Amino acid sequence: MPDTASLRGFGVESDYRSDRSNMVEDFYLPALAASSSYDRAVGYFAASVIATLGQGVDDFAMRGGTMRIIASPYLELADLKEIEEGYELREVLKRAALRDLEQAVEDERAERGLGKLGRLVAEGRVDFKLAYVAERGRVGMYHEKIGVFRDGRDAVVFKGSANETRSGLVGNFEAIEVYRSWDPRDADRAARIRKDFEDLWHDRTATLRVVPFTEAAKVVIERSERATADRCDLDELPTGGAPIPTSHQQPTGVLSIPASLAVRDYQMEAVQNWFRNRCRGILRMATGTGKTLTALAAAAQLGSFLRRNDSSASLLTVVVAPYQHLVDQWAKDIARFGVTPIRAYESTRRWSSRAHNLLQNLALGGTHGGVIVTTNATFGGKPFQELLETYNGPLLLIADEAHNLGARHLRTQLPEKAQFRLGLSATPERWFDEEGTDALTSYFDDIVFEMGIGEAIRRGALCRYTYTPVLVELDTEEAELYAETSAKIAKLIAAGTDLRETADTDSPLGRLLKKRADIIGHARGKLEGVRAEIEKRRESGHQLIYCAEGRHPLLHEQGITGPRQIDQVMSMVGNDLHMTAARYTSETKRVDRQDILRRFDSNDLQVISSMRCLDEGVDVPASRTAYLLASSSNPRQFIQRRGRVLRRAPGKELADIVDFVVVPPAGGDAMQHETERRLLRRELARVEEFARLAENEAVTLDVLRPVRDRYGLFDI
48-61 pLDDT, tens digit each: 445 444 445 666 76
Q: How is residue 541 annotated by DSSP?
A: -
Q: How is residue 7 annotated by DSSP?
A: G
Query: Cα(654)–Cα(467) distance, rounded to whole angstroms?
Result: 11
Whole-number pLDDT of residue 348 = 92
Whole-number pLDDT of residue 49 = 44
pTM, two decimals, is 0.59
Whole-number pLDDT of residue 244 = 38
Whole-number pLDDT of residue 166 = 43
- Give the residue ranges of the chain where pLDDT is below 70: 1-5, 43-59, 61-62, 73-94, 96-123, 134-140, 161-172, 213-252, 431-433, 498-505, 613-618, 631-637, 666-673, 714-716
- Cα 118 from chain centre: 22
- Cα 391 from chain centre: 26
Q: Are the folds of 7-229 and 233-458 the same?
A: no
Whole-number pLDDT of residue 110 = 47
Instruction: State the Cα angle at 83 between 81 and 89, rounded to 5°.
Output: 150
Whole-number pLDDT of residue 94 = 67
Query: Cα(333)–Cα(319) distance, rounded to whole angstroms?
Result: 12
CATH of 7-229, one of 3.40.50.2300, 3.10.310.70, 3.30.70.80, 3.30.870.10: 3.30.870.10
CATH number of this structure's domain 464-474+540-711: 3.40.50.300
Q: What are phi and psi of 315, to 5 degrees?
A: -145, 125
Residues ≥6 apart with Cβ < 8 Å to 562: 551, 552, 555
* Buried/exposed 336-347: b ≥16 CB within 10 Å, e otherwise: bbbbbbbbbbbe
Q: Where are the domains of the chain?
A: 7-229, 233-458, 464-474+540-711
Q: How is residue 258 annotated by DSSP?
A: B
DSSP code per residue over 453-491 = HHHHHHTTSB-EEEEEEEEEE--HHHHHHHHHHHHHHHH
CATH number of this structure's domain 233-458: 3.40.50.300
Whole-number pLDDT of residue 76 = 53
Give the HSE-up count for residue 326: Cα atoms under 13 Å, Cβ half-sphere.
20
> CB–CB of 229/315 below 8 Å?
no
Whole-number pLDDT of residue 105 = 47
Q: Which long-range contacts (CB under 8 A, 24 or more apart) does 413-420 make?
A: 413/379, 413/380, 413/385, 414/443, 415/388, 417/388, 417/391, 417/392, 418/318, 419/279, 419/394, 419/395, 420/279, 420/280, 420/302, 420/394, 420/395, 420/396
Sheet holding 543-546, edge to edge: 464-473, 654-663, 625-628, 543-546, 607-610, 581-584
Q: Counting runs of H as helices and runs of E as strands, what totals does the chain give?
A: 27, 22
Whole-number pLDDT of residue 184 = 93
Query: Cα(240)–Cα(266) distance, rounded to whole angstroms?
Result: 11
